[in-house]
Structure 1
């Protein structure tokens, strides 16, 4: 009511039913959210939902948690990941499932081991001087500490789950099952030991799998080297190009491609400082000759002739270091020129230097032609000490920097007269994703899982090999969100090599197998295969964990009575940690009471990098042990970038820490950011974006606050049936029927962006700006028994239950606040509710179509009134009584069937189908509706503020008929 009413007026403020609520306008989330967390813990919400699931025999829904690494505080990517998971779990619970979520941690592996080694080095200690079990126990304590820290940080985000009993890959049962799963590879024939080049980290002194490799720009030495024929090619030199000069001592062949056109080029003139020599003849791929000319500072050359591939057959070259002083005959052997399909003329010279111990293509060519493997490179990335000329020199040093090996080789090649040219190139190069140090390919004995070997088991439904089963699972059993994930994972599985399972480290589950002394890896009895031995190992691990593998006498104990301990050697490599996490389906989904009956998860969800990580290793591992993928849905999210779209980096100072966002805004704002973004792509976050998110939150909160205020004192006796509802309320119920379908479909398809946007638009546009705006008059001024007011409060009660539950998975703290504002009580919680079913008769497409026309016409009227308000002709829409000209008879009939003045919030309104005058207001996008402004006639009702002719003619002074009746 106005404060400056005329002296003759009466103050009716106390007679108006204004909204009443204690729900605060300011959320105060950072301070209040911890209280709700404590409340949920007291109430035992998660456990109550599990009891409800059992009592109602609900269908299970299990999202299996990809384990984060127990090392360091959470970053924004963790918050994104866990929030998406939480929204999925909460929404499926509220849609009628028993939605279980067991959080887990990856606890073994190099990063933790590396941290303990750093602590040792700081104290001047050597890891190798410490008892391995003691070292492993220190690693365990380190992981335990970070599990405790991260658990509290995850819970602060509002993540629901079985936090009291998470899974840890270092738990004794987990270690026992990981060993058991590995031994299935032993028994089914997938495991073999091979000596082949693998990605090797000199810094970490261990082999790495594809999932542990990332690519960064790196500047490498590049060289062009002459290989002279022994007696062929008319004395012309074959020229190779490589970015790894350190591999030249390991060269065993040069490869060419018969499909490439080659020519003989005579050097006619060279620039000063060139290592090319005038008069020499070089054989090059024609497509690359010009680039070689530039690199070698050749000022002029002449192409002498074609060199057909037939001339290369049987050609023997001399190693560049053959006969070198101090070489001790190390390189005095033949270097064959061999055909290889992997050779291209995209870059280089058209010839590929081949070192079978240091590259996969090289290795495959070596297998085909029986080339000798070399073992010149030690685990620390240095040459073996007795290698002539280069012994002990590092390729990559302990700090991940280039050692002297490359430069030493370049100098030696120049000394030998083999160096044609040199340079440097910046290119994408493999690095360890843990130490960030460059990697090398290194030939070393490792244990592999063969992915193309027919497995000795009875699980051939989807194929007989790991690769076949994995591909068939992708093609037939798994749904991918987004769909592009299918092709990405399929391509990776289709083209990947055998899986390197072994690591030369200490902190992990050991490869629990024994090999026969004196036997070769290719011998049938090389591996001890005994179900009884395997069972003894598993039982020992269950009781005391994997540390027992390292106890003196363990081998004799488990082999007693089955095999001669002296006849077998115990393997002490540890498993790739991806095998650990890839096995979680067995000890979480299969073994736990809150797992799944078939050991298959409904959803695996992680970042896109996990196509080569957890999705990948889980698929390979399960294909070998259960014959198919361990998941039905694979959902992936992108990476988190700063507001400019740049990758976050501490050095750039553009990181956003979850705790900082929570401290300033609250966890619900961070969760809302997740729900508003398209998580399937890369997302951006920063101060401006978070401010925008907070603004959206405030708008939504205001809608909910108004609804709470309007529902104050609502009683079931007020409830109105659908048959009695005014059309406007029936239209709202129709919209709720539409929303129910959209919300459920959005949650089922993991599309939270559409869910929130749909609900936000409905709340702010359909409700706040339309329905609530119209019904404020009836809510405030109608008598309590008015049908319109009762119908409105009935619909608001329905809205309350729908909106709070629909939004609870996204905003669990705020919706609990809203819920408790109406339904306080120690055992009350919105998170114990389900999405309410929608009666079939709420859907009314014909009514919706009619009201679409009414709303369009209303927009024309409100736009016309806004023009008058802007011009200060009127202050409020109730001062108007416009004339609305409607050309369409159907629309005109629809508008006449409702109180269109009430809908437009005017004191009066005239409808006509007569042609509109030229000066009438029109909106271009709403054809056939024109508005002529007219002022409302009469006196202003001092209670509802409408201007009507009858005001002042009733018992209560200065009131209209409606308000007079309400007061009476």
Structure 2
């Protein structure tokens, strides 16, 4: 046979990887192409058709507001949802994702008002339905923008038919849910203090506020004792408050029977106002010293004051008889039954006549009413004075304490009506004599239209000084509620609102609260701490405030009598719902709506309620017109997933709405994620310049980089994101991509041949075992929504087990072995199975990259996302084999460590130049190496295994006891094809410069006509 070695380019005889899958991903360019491909091929519809008849798995989308571009929180949220739905879809379920949007309420209305203000336009001069149309158009625009942004993130769902709360059918269903509460007597009109935004002119729910530092005026105020033990007459009970403007609304002072109180006497005073020597004051003993120091007073304790004594005391209001101008011919202060529009030029009542309380005739003097001392559970001696100023119109705890004491107070002849001292614009009303519209210069104001402090505190403090009822004053920086939209402080204000009872018996010995608590106990929470958090909120929450004084939303579509009684008429309700279904909620605000809906009852004295529903009621009702009404979904949902703030938001309102109308939660599992912080742990903010925008990351690095970050982060807690974190994920992605690329290149030589597991070398069977191990981990991880565990396991597997171990060892066989080699064929089969399994497992996390890889491998495939996870046989698992190879890999680590040292010393350039001597003293390790080709696993040209302790100077690792390596150069000649040093190079005369193994491979290739 003729020597052909001088004619051959050996590199062309090797089975080197061949692929068009690029090393450089180019995700910013490639991903939009794939999005366009999925849309053109209608992937969503194909997914639904493929999944027809399977069990349904439904994640119900919590609706974002349609009022701006998406931010990093949206990206985190939607990627998590997409990973869940894709993973269940690829595991035998019909996992249909229907995106939704919250379209009503203040977030959108506020944007339109901002546009109006910029144009000098007055909202009140625009017909309400014209204004609502502008809100609708605004929301629709941002739905379209966000849709494209979500698609760019790789989110797959029914974007052609999403749900929106402003859809006519949705508005009709929301209204129908409200009417269910009304017809079951759960809805009522009440007057309670609610958080009120003066800037936005509406009540706010707890979920609509955030807390920021705020500097408040603080005052210590004296309340004169008018009834009680004789030696307390002429003494004062002292309260402390951070809201001086609420003093006109004071109706009681609360104390605690658990606190020790004492009577104190001032012995010396240094201040310009306040107590003088001889005055007697009652304080909690634990707070007396601090309070007297604040007022720069010297004092002595006279005696203890018992709880029974306190309960018998009646006080006078600190502003009783003020201002005197109202007693002697000044402007009147007749009682208001509601908002008086302070400072707005309301009618001025006639002046009062001189008589006041106790003198008979005429109207009472200003603030001339008894102020009782009442016991309150909320009173502590942690700060203040041990007494709590109680203004039931301005605080929830104040309101509860006042209502709890109501029966006893009425028995004592005390009027328990709650005044409306502040109107919707923050002005004092006539219920605050001398401070409202009767004040010289107009009503004082708590907060102005820009959210700035008004002059109310100053006016009240000056009045207290004038009455000699100010003990001390100061300032305090503390956490205070602000509207999360306007970012301006809110106030607590007593207003007529519509509520849902939390504790009313629903006719089956349950209440809304008890139903909700039972539903929480029956639901799964991930992480588990979410259950405790939501439960504590439900346990403590007051009645649900549904009404908002706005224009854009679903109206509280009921008719009420003057006393708040709701009309219950199924025919009226039917007309309302039919109109909403056909025309939307605008029908409520159309001309002639009252007559249209009431029909024959239009002549009865029913008032049409014009408040709109809290937007949380809208989103809390989404389960009705999505899960219940769409035939491609189901009720209840398997999963609700949102940020941890939604324990007081969407999770909360959905729970209450569903429990009130259906008796159970609309979900089986609640998953929460944390918030994304800047890299240094601070909150992202425009002012700090530390924001990360998903659009920027996608434009520079690609959506799959964001998705890898989401997959590998502990999303249950707050996460961090910034330049360095992104780069870390870019580096990890590059390693994953290169591993996949190598598999694709290797599989270019796959002829489809199979090798039975029993005929495979141990190394291949080990890799099949690892696949079986990972299959359980991946499926359990997806079931538990523990993506970090999956991602990190797969990254480690691909980088450590595959690239740095299995592929590294098998490159020689895959590149150089003959086509008939069982070892090479087995390796090809294993790489095939590795590729299929890993790419499918990663597809929910990295949909763009895995789609690109799948289509590169399977040219006729439609999409990897139409595939199911690989079916991994249980008998691939071989724990004994794995235990053996863990020992082998320990020895390998020592050998490769020794070789790295020699490479660093420039002794060798390649590990194939070495033939190390491996000394193994550990009997278990030595037994594991029996029959193993150490040179093969160490990627050397030779290796000698010696039983026993290593000589002095041998290389070793502390963590691998009993193994030492002595370096030795490989003997023999370097093969021109495989670069291994062997003694049989030239043994085949036709191929004199290659080893016998390589010559045999060349001969096979030659016989097949492939040379």
Residues 922 and 961 of structure 2 are in contact (CA less than 8 Å); yes or no, is this contact kept in structure 1? no
Aligned to 1:64: 60
**Residue in structure 2 matching 1:954, options 976, 984, 988:** 988
Which stretch shows the higher mean deviation, 232-241 or 361-370?
A: 361-370
Deviation at 1:849, TM superposition (A): 1.2
Aligned to 2:221: 225
Give distance in 2, aligned partners of 1:482 and 1:14: 56
Aligned to 1:571: 609
Whether 2:627 is the aligned partner of 1:589: answer yes
Deviation per CA, 1:279-309, whole angstroms, max 9, x where unpaired?
22211111000110121122x2111222223
Aligned to 2:480: 429
Whether 2:91 is the aligned partner of 1:90: answer no
**Residue in structure 1 matching 2:160, options 142, 157, 164:** 164
Whether 2:709 is the aligned partner of 1:676: answer no
Aligned to 1:549: 588
Residues 430 and 438 of structure 1 are in contact (CA less than 8 Å); yes or no, is this contact kept in structure 2? yes
**Residue in structure 1 matching 2:849, options 814, 830, 836:** 814
Give distance in 2, aligned partners of 1:8 and 1:22: 31
Deviation per CA, 1:588-620, whole angstroms, max 9, x where unpaired?
000012220xx2001000000000000000000
Deviation at 1:628, TM superposition (A): 0.3
SS, match of residue 670 in structure 2: strand
Residues 89 and 99 of structure 1 are in contact (CA less than 8 Å); yes or no, is this contact kept in structure 2? yes
Deviation at 1:713, TM superposition (A): 3.4
Deviation per CA, 1:811-839, whole angstroms, max 9, x where unpaired?
111111111111224x6211111101111
**Residue in structure 1 matching 2:935, options 892, 895, 901:** 901
Q: TM-score, normalised by structure 2?
A: 0.91
Residues 10 and 942 of structure 1 are in contact (CA less than 8 Å); yes or no, is this contact kept in structure 2? no
Residues 273 and 468 of structure 2 are in contact (CA less than 8 Å); yes or no, is this contact kept in structure 1? no
Whether 2:964 is the aligned partner of 1:930: answer yes
Give distance in 2, aligned partners of 1:532 and 1:945: 91
Whether 2:533 is the aligned partner of 1:488: answer yes
Residues 276 and 297 of structure 1 are in contact (CA less than 8 Å); yes or no, is this contact kept in structure 2? no
Aligned to 2:339: none
Give distance in 1, aligned partners of 2:84 and 2:301: 67
Deviation per CA, 1:555-585, whole angstroms, max 9, x where unpaired?
2222224x34433111111000000000000
Aligned to 2:884: 850
Deviation per CA, 1:190-220, whole angstroms, max 9, x where unpaired?
1111111111111111111122122111111
Deviation at 1:454, TM superposition (A): 1.7
Aligned to 2:47: 49
Residues 274 and 469 of structure 2 are in contact (CA less than 8 Å); yes or no, is this contact kept in structure 1? no
Aligned to 2:343: none
SS, match of residue 148 in structure 1: helix
Residues 10 and 958 of structure 1 are in contact (CA less than 8 Å); yes or no, is this contact kept in structure 2? no
Deviation per CA, 1:160-217, whole angstroms, max 9, x where unpaired?
0000000000000000000001111011121111111111111111111122122111
SS, match of residue 51 in structure 2: helix
Which stretch shows the higher mean deviation, 841-850 or 73-82?
A: 841-850
Which stretch shows the higher mean deviation, 248-257 or 489-498?
A: 248-257
User: Within 5 Å, which residues of 2 pair with 1:529-678?
Assistant: 529-561=568-600, 563-596=601-634, 599-678=635-714
Aligned to 1:252: 251
Aligned to 1:279: 278
Residues 9 and 958 of structure 1 are in contact (CA less than 8 Å); yes or no, is this contact kept in structure 2? no
Give distance in 2, aligned partners of 1:642 and 1:861: 43
Residues 9 and 942 of structure 1 are in contact (CA less than 8 Å); yes or no, is this contact kept in structure 2? no
Deviation at 1:60, TM superposition (A): 0.4
Deviation at 1:385, TM superposition (A): 5.8
Give distance in 1, aligned partners of 2:426 and 2:136: 29
Residues 15 and 749 of structure 2 are in contact (CA less than 8 Å); yes or no, is this contact kept in structure 1? no
SS, match of residue 37 in structure 2: helix
Deviation at 1:919, TM superposition (A): 2.6
SS, match of residue 98 in structure 2: coil
Which stretch shows the higher mean deviation, 174-183 or 544-553?
A: 544-553
How many residue pairs get matched? 942
Give distance in 2, aligned partners of 1:309 and 1:745: 60
Which stretch shows the higher mean deviation, 502-511 or 256-265?
A: 256-265
Give distance in 2, aligned partners of 1:950 and 1:253: 105
Whether 2:919 is the aligned partner of 1:919: answer no
Deviation at 1:8, TM superposition (A): 9.1
SS, match of residue 755 in structure 2: coil
SS, match of residue 919 in structure 2: strand
Give distance in 1, aligned partners of 2:456 and 2:549: 24
SS, match of residue 937 in structure 1: coil
Give ranges in structure 2 of 5+ residues lacking alignment.
Answer: 328-364, 410-415, 437-442, 1004-1011
Does the C-alpha gap of structure 1 residues 9 and 893 become closer, same or farther in structure 2, counting only changes over 3 Å? farther
Give distance in 1, aligned partners of 2:385 and 2:930: 85
Give distance in 1, aligned partners of 2:307 and 2:56: 65
SS, match of residue 616 in structure 1: helix
SS, match of residue 95 in structure 2: strand
Deviation at 1:274, TM superposition (A): 5.3
Residues 193 and 447 of structure 1 are in contact (CA less than 8 Å); yes or no, is this contact kept in structure 2? yes
Which stretch shows the higher mean deviation, 674-683 or 323-332?
A: 323-332
Residues 555 and 565 of structure 1 are in contact (CA less than 8 Å); yes or no, is this contact kept in structure 2? no
Deviation at 1:693, TM superposition (A): 0.6
Does the C-alpha gap of structure 1 residues 883 and 256 become closer, same or farther in structure 2, counting only changes over 3 Å? same
Aligned to 1:740: 775
Give distance in 1, aligned partners of 2:552 and 2:841: 45
Give distance in 2, aligned partners of 1:28 and 1:965: 42
Residues 711 and 793 of structure 1 are in contact (CA less than 8 Å); yes or no, is this contact kept in structure 2? yes
Give distance in 2, aligned partners of 1:162 and 1:859: 51
**Residue in structure 1 matching 2:24, options 23, 26, 40:** 26
Give distance in 1, aligned partners of 2:326 and 2:467: 11
Give distance in 2, aligned partners of 1:775 and 1:615: 52
Give distance in 2, aligned partners of 1:503 and 1:926: 70
Give distance in 2, aligned partners of 1:313 and 1:17: 95
SS, match of residue 475 in structure 2: strand
Give distance in 2, aligned partners of 1:546 and 1:564: 20
Aligned to 1:3: none
**Residue in structure 1 matching 2:900, options 866, 874, 889:** 866
Aligned to 2:754: 719
Give distance in 1, aligned partners of 2:77 and 2:949: 60
Give distance in 1, aligned partners of 2:372 and 2:924: 90
User: Within 5 Å, which residues of 2 pair with 1:99-138?
Assistant: 99-138=95-134
Give distance in 2, aligned partners of 1:529 and 1:902: 85
Aligned to 1:404: 455
Give distance in 1, aligned partners of 2:555 and 2:6: 93
**Residue in structure 2 matching 1:828, options 862, 886, 901:** 862
Deviation per CA, 1:719-757, whole angstroms, max 9, x where unpaired?
212121111001100000000110111111111111110
SS, match of residue 224 in structure 1: strand
Residues 176 and 545 of structure 1 are in contact (CA less than 8 Å); yes or no, is this contact kept in structure 2? yes
SS, match of residue 479 in structure 2: strand
